[in-house]
Each structure stands twice: as C-alpha cells, then as structure tokens.
Amino acid sequence: MSIGPLAFLSPWLLTALVALPLIWWLLRAVPPRPRRIAFPPTRILVGLESKEQTPVKTPWWLTLIRLLAAGLIILALANPVLNPDRGQTLKGGGPLVLVVDNGWASAHSWAQRIRASESVLAQAAAVGRPVIVVPTAPPTRSVTLRLEAPAKARTSLAALLPQPFAPRRAEALKRITEVLRGQKDAGIVWVSDGIDHDLEGKAFAEGLAALAAAGGRYSVYLPGADDHALALRAEPGTRGKLEATIIRAEGGTREGLVHAYSARGQRLAESRFKLAPSETAAKATFEMPLEIRNQVARLEIAGERSAGAVHLLDERSRWPRVGLIGGTSREQAQPLLAPLYYIERALTPFAELLVPNEANVVNALGLAIRQNASVIVMADIGTLVDEPRKQLEEWVKKGGVLVRFAGPRLEKGSDELMPVPLRLGGRTLGGALSWSTPQPLAPFDEQSLFAGLTAPADVLINRQVLADPAQLGPETKIWARLKDGTPLVTAARNGEGTLVLFHVTANSDWSNLPLSGLFVEMLQRIITLGRVGGAAEQGTTQTGGEIKIAASVLSPFQSLDGFGILKAPPATAQAIALAKLAETRPSLEHPPGYWGSPAAPRALNIAGPKLTLRSLAGTLPGGAERLAYESERAMPLKPSLLMAGLALVFADVIAIILLQLGSARMLGARRAASAIAGLALLGIGAGALTPGAAHAQAKAEDPLAMRATAKATFAYVLTGDQETDRISRLGLEGLRRVLTARTAVEPAEAVAVNVATSELAFYPILYWPVLFNAEPLPEAVAAKIDAYMKQGGMIIFDTRDQGQALPTARGMRGPGATALQRLLSRLDIPRLEQVPEGHVLTKSFYLLRSFPGRYEGGPLWVEAELETGDGRSGRQARKSDGVSSILITSNDLAAAWALDETNRPLLPVSPGSPRQREMAFRVGVNIVMYALTGNYKADQVHVPALLQRLGQ
C-alpha cells in the first residue's frame, strides 16, 4: 500500500489503529496511582469513612503521550518505507528473481545499480521472500543459480563486479527458466544497463515476461536519458591525426574529454567532444607531432570508468614515415601507370608519406633519410652508385626497412641491397609466345608476415623477376609465393633492419596485384616493421639477425577489467589464433587487453569498428514496468518510529515519577508535566518526519574537540566521488574493528573531513584516496596541509592504481601517480624512499616484509633517512619520535579493509591469495601503532625480543 512517497510493506497491521479509541477509554477510566504522603497526626482519622468519592482521571497530556506511543508502534510494525522506488518493484508472492546486467556498459554508474539492487533486496527481506541473484555476464562458465535468503543474497550481490564484455542474456534466460521450473507466482526485477546488446533485448524481455507473475508483468530499471554508457574507439585521421569516436545508444547533451596516455601513464594530450541530443556519435581529434602521436598507448574518456571507455593502441596504430622514391619522372608518367600511384593510395590512411620532389634519386634518398623515414619504398630502381648505396645500407642496419619493387631496370641488374640474388632477365607468364599461363597466388604460410590474409583468386601475375635458387640461403624468408612455388615477396635481415622485395612492379604492368585490397593489407603489415633505432615491430620480432614471425596463436598477458583497469588475465582466458584476432569480439574466454608478446602486443578492444549501440527502451514489451535509477535510496522508517515510540514510553514513565514524587511542586505539577509532554512530542515529531535529523543536529552541537580527542579518531578526506568516500569510510571502520579486537587501541568511528574547511589537528592519521583527475591544491589549503604534517600529523596518500600500473624503468607506474604529483605540487614534501629493511613500520606490531592492500606489489613510500654528521641516521622531520609525516601507497588499502555489517569483505583482493587480506589488516595495524607510538619499537631495549621472534 502506498500513500505518495510513503509505502507500507505490511499494511494489514494498520488495522490495529482501530483499537486506539479503546485504549483511550481504558486510560481515561484508570486513573494514575495516587501519591502517598506520610503524616502521623492522621492516625486520629482512622475508621472514618468518606461518604462521597471522586475518581481522579488521567491528565489529557498523559493520555495523548500513551496514545501516540501505541500508534507509532503500530505504524512501525507495518514496515513503512519512504521513497520505495515507486513502491511497485516487487511482483508476485513467490521467489524474487533479481537480474543484474554486469557487462562492460554497467560499469558506468555501477554504484547506482548496486543501490537499486540493494533496495529491492531490502523490500524482499521485509516480506520474507527468497531471492535468486542472476548476473547476465558471469565471470565463469559454470554458474549455479539458487534460492537464497535476502541476507545471503546481499553477499552474492556484493561479489558481483562489471565484466569487460557484453552480457549474455540468452544464456541467463535459460538458467532462469531452469531454476524457476516448478516455482509459482515469481516476481522479476531486471536491473539493466539500458543497451540492447546483439539485439537480444527484445527476446530476453519477452522471456522474462513469460516467467513473471501478474499476467507477465515485471519491473525493469532503465538509465536516464543522460546516463547511458559511452564507448570509445580510435582510428587514424587525415595527415597523421589520431581520431577518437565516442558512441552511445541515446541521450541528451553531453560533453567531456578524451585523454591520451603513454605506456608509462603520462598524459600526452586531451581533446574535447560534445554530443547533441540527437547525436549518437562524436569525434575527438588529437593533433600532435608524429613522434608524440606514436607514443600514445591508451585513449580514455575522462570520468567514464568502464572497459568500453578505454581504447588500447598497439604497433598497428603507430604511423611510420614512409619515403617513396620512383625510377620514373612523375611528370612524364601517366597517372595510373606511375610506379608510385598505387603505393600512395594504399599507404595514405596508415602512414605519413614523404614524396621528395626530386628527379635525382641520390638527392631524394638523402632527403628521406634526413627526415627520419623509417620505411623507404623504391619502385623500379636498379643499381645504386656507391655513395648513396652505402648511405642507404647504413640506414637499413640501424633499423630501417627498404621495400623494393621490380621493373624493367631491376630486371637488367641489381646491387647488394636485395634480400635474394636475382637472375638476369624476367619471366613472362602467358602471351602469344609463351607456353605458361598467368599464375595466381598460393595461400600464405603460417610463418609468413602475411599469415591470416586471404589471397584472392582473381589476382594473377603476368611477369616477374626470378630469384636465383642456387643462392637462396636460410636467412632469406619467402613471405608470398605463386601457385607454382615461385617466390613473389622475399625478405632478409640486414643489421637491425629489413630488406623486402616484391618480384613484380608497383603498378599494373606485370600483375593486377596493386589493384586489389590484398596489396593494401600487405603494405600495411610491412610498414609496421620500420622502427629506426631497433624498436620492435608489430607482429614480428627481430632478434638474432633474423626475422622471427609472431606465433600463429596469441596468448593474453594483460587484460582490462570491467572498470577499464589493466590487470593480469583471468583464468578463463584462452588463446586466439592470429588469423582470427581481427574478427574476435571480447568475451569471457577472450577479454579485451593485450595479446601475444609483450615486446610486440596486439590489442583487443570492446569498441571495434562494427560496434553500434542501441537503446533497450524501444524493445521492451508493453507489460514491463519501467523504473528509473533514483538518486535517493528507499528509507525504512520502522527503526525511527520504534525509537520514537520508545521515547514516548520513557516520557510517560518520567511524568508518572514526577507526579508521584512531587518534584513538580515548585513550578506546579501541571506546568512541569505539560513541559515534558511538549518536549517529547516535539522531539518525536522531528525524529519521525526527518529520520536522522535530530541525530545530525545533536552531533553538530557537540564540541568537535571533545569528540575527536576522547578516543583516537582517524579521518578520511572527502573527494567528491560518492563511491570512493563510501569505501574510505567502510575501510577505516573495518580497521577500527580489527584494532579493537586485536590491540589495546579502541578508536572512535572514522570522521570525514574537508581539507579546505575542517580542523585537522585532532586526527593523528588522515587517509587520502587520490582520484585520477585530482588537481593541484590551492595555496591556502596546501599551507594548511603542510602545517598539519609538520606539527605531528600523518597522511596516507593512496593512489589505488597498482592494479593498472604499467612497468617503467623505476618499477610500476599508474595514472594515480601523475594525479598525486599534481596534488602535491605545492607541498613541501621531504625526500622519500621505499620502506627499508628494519624500518619501524615492519615491526611496530606484526613482522612484515611487504605492504599489500586490495592489490599487492606496490611499494610503500616513507620519509627517507638522512645521514647526520656523526654518522648516525636520522629523519628529516619529526626526529623526536621518528614517525614519517607522509606515507604513499598504490595498493588501495581501504578497499581491502572494507567490511559489511557481518564483518565480511565488500571487495575482492587481487590476485586474491588467502592471506592477502589478512596481511592488509596487519599493514593497517602496523601503521596505526607506528603513528601512535613513534619509534618505541626501534628502542634498543626490544632488540633481543625481536631477534628471538625473527629466529622463530
């Protein structure tokens, strides 16, 4: 039953309100107990009887208090709920099926989806309905659905995380059908991501409607028009620009930034985009020098935490500089017969072309080399003279790729810059004076650079230059052959570079290969070999003086999770054939990320070139009840009403005591009792109408210093991100419970502080989670933080990015490190070092060797020890107690400490060893003991005991 924003989950209990008149009559008929007064002279009156007795009635204000107490208790037992998500999410009276979309698109506003699911579970718990939690993107293939109590279903819900692939709704529908077999009157609530993946939305919705109760009706949560997930894909633009395409299903006006990051996590550039209400795609263009553009390894939509909002780039996305040199003058040649015409058209979308306006081949070569070309293509150039040949050979040995095409000049003779010696003269296939016919291409070998490409049957070779078979050595690689086995494309190593020869012309004189799409794909793969300076190429590695083609099967070595963070691949990941990588869509077995060798990886992304996003709203059947993700959670009023009723009962007791003892004689019994009643009613009304307001008011009136100093109180910095602040609060609360159970420290509840306005001096430890978009602190705030650290406070900066850190020359570095540098840019930070062996932090309570949190592997940084003049070590700040004023970690400590009401972990740890969470709590205990006791454990008195424990 609902009355506006108020709903009653057990409305039948409201019938007890009919008994209030009977209660009123009984209270009026039964007077309060008379007050006894001992007066000795009254013994003379013993035996006298009063002829007239006047009963004393209960005062009206006392009757009102008792009636209100009874009414509030009746209302509380009816389970009232404020803002119950429109009060109609639960259908049927049987088991409740909670279907949760947890694909990549659900990572956007994941906290909202979890809140909506928790609200549904709260309603199920109020009416005692069993629940089945169904993820549409399960992390494993073997998923068992079962009926659970709502309390246990909360644990199953808390274990869900977004997955980096689209939901498999058809499989989820089969599992739901199996588990509901034999069940009647089931209700279904679908917490959707709002996207019709693979056009399965309509079939899935109709299947749920068939299983739901109440004539096929069920509830579906849909995101708002401006709350749809965004996806990102990158593609090369004109003139070497990098273009990012942002796509969505629908929505209103939306704008944001796309950031470009290097492999080390450095932000190289950013570009703004804007989506109009009628647009589902927008462009963000990056204009950067080619050298910087080729360092971009990752594009990411700022503030959009999902695997779809991240696009990984590999070597195929790098733009090389390609110099084109032809043996025929461009002015004299026919446009379609020019030797470089088809090469230019093939390479324009993938490379920056250098076409020297020089008829002199020697000058053109020198110009291309001076402009740092990584690939040089020479069409029909026979023999080079000594000086340019030596210059070109030196360039190749440094890592350049020389691609040569045959022609009439090369047919007559060549130089040493060839992958294979050639026979003089060419071979003509077909024609009036030839017995042979034009030859098609043979399929490409698995060891070929062109493995996975399809040779069209209509590509025919009419003429070619022949390799001398007597001089073919093991260093020569044949990447393409004719059907009769004759080499068509050969290659060989020369120093750090590569020599490649097409045994046909670059135009259509000798074959129709340049007219085919295969020609474009072949050139695209060849130009990725060119990295002057010895850098690795895509798909191949060049070591040991030979070209080693990448394996035909690629294994994952880094994968994106649902929030777009690079991690180790899951156990379910399976290898992909190189030939099928381009058509592979991310799935449970093939998550998005990097595949192959770390030296030459291949990237697999959510948003491929064929991905289109469609809204789910237009595919739902008419019987589906559509709900929006509300910003306000449902608020149960039962606890507040029970507390109000109990307060009225206490007020009644106090009033009776006052009347009995006569304490109200000074002011008059009526005035005192009326004042008590008024205060009770005022407090109850405020508490019942605005739950928590009285508590907040009382809390605001308490002296801050008294509360913060009564017990050790730890604080966390408010970041503005609700989910981050929630994890910080729950993490410190979990650490508080562990400290209370294991140590003599009994901290108070954690306090949220605003570093700009709150007083920090009361808190010995300040936990500061660093957002990736953190900005430099204002000067006044920076001075306040600096004073706090120098006057005895400790700040734990947690970048929380170890799970997506990238290897660098100095260890692992993630995007949080860059944000931390911006945040601390105006602070007077002392020199830092990783916690050295024997540091007080390693033995303040537990003996530790590492400092894991939700992630492990990230170091813990403290103030560095300094050498004093007498050879002893000291600390730069707070030398009296030896405590570092700043700690920096990337292991996400609060997430590992966060516990629910039943002391169960809220978030999984990675990689997830059984002792990792226990070690994380030990790290927290050591930090607290270190901050509170200083260098106590470093005292020489404890050295023997510590040595004995280390020996054990």
C-alpha atoms less than 13 angstroms from C-alpha of 911 in its C-beta half-sphere: 6
Cα–Cα dist 884/878, whole Å: 7
**Mean pLDDT for the stretch of residues 386-402:** 89
Number of H helices, E strands in the chain: 23, 46
**393 Cβ partners below 8 Å, 6+ apart?**
416, 417, 494
Higher pLDDT: 71 or 587? It is 587
What CA–CA distance (Å, rounded) separates 145 from 135?
Answer: 10
Sign (positive/negative) of CA torsion 526, 532, 534, 536?
negative
Whether the per-residue pLDDT at 118 is higher than 80: the answer is yes
Q: Full-prediction pTM beyond 0.75?
A: no
pLDDT band at 945 (very low <50, low <70, confident <90, very high): low
Asked if residues 400 and 374 have their Cβ atoms less than 8 Å apart, the reply is yes
- Are the C-beta atoms of 337 and 507 separated by less than 8 Å? yes
pLDDT for position 102: 92
Give one DSSP letter per residue of 339-401, joined into a string: TTHHHHHHHTTTSEEE----S-HHHHHHHHHHTT-SEEEEES--PPPHHHHHHHHHHHHTT-E
- Smallest Cα–Cα separation from 133: which of 149, 151, 156? 156
State the average pLDDT for the chain. 80
The predicted pLDDT at position 876 comes to 47
- What is residue 868's predicted lDDT score, i.e. its pLDDT? 46
545 DSSP 8-state letter: T
Please give the average per-residue pLDDT across 841-846, as a whole number: 89
**Of 516 and 62, the one with more pLDDT:** 516
Spatial strand order of the sheet with 96-100 comes to 131-135, 96-100, 187-191, 218-222, 624-628
Closest alpha carbon to 922 in 866, 844, 858, 860: 844
The per-residue pLDDT for 357 is 75
Q: Tell me how long the chain is.
A: 952
C-alpha span between 222 and 757 (Å, rounded):
38
Given a contact cutoff of 8 angstroms between Cβ atoms, the answer to whether 926 and 844 are in contact is yes
Query: In angstroms, rounded to a whole number, what is the distance separating the alpha carbons of residues 584 and 164?
Result: 14
> Concatenated DSSP letters for 244-313?
EEEE-SS-S-EEEEEEEEETTS-EEEEEEEEE-TT-SEEEEEE---HHHHTTEEEEEETT--SGGGEEE-
- Checking DSSP bridges between strand 6-8 and strand 2-3, what pairing results, if any? antiparallel
The answer for residues whose C-beta is within 8 angstroms of residue 260's C-beta and 6 or more apart is: 242, 267, 268, 269, 270, 271, 286, 288, 296, 298, 299
**Average pLDDT of span 224-252:** 81
Buried b (16+ CB within 10 A) or exposed e, 31-42: eeeeeeeeeeee
Is the pLDDT at 893 greater than 90, yes or no? yes
Q: What is the pLDDT of residues 752-808, one digit of tens each?
A: 999 988 888 889 999 999 998 888 888 888 888 988 888 888 999 999 888 665 444
Least confident of 345-349, 469-473, 730-734, 938-942: 938-942
Q: How many CB atoms lie within 10 A of CB 757?
A: 8
Sign of CA dihedral 923, 929, 931, 934: negative
Q: Which residues contact 375 (CB under 8 A, 6 or more apart)?
A: 320, 321, 322, 323, 351, 400, 401, 402, 403, 526, 527, 529, 530
Among 112, 226, 220, 114, which residue's Cα sits nearest to residue 159? 114
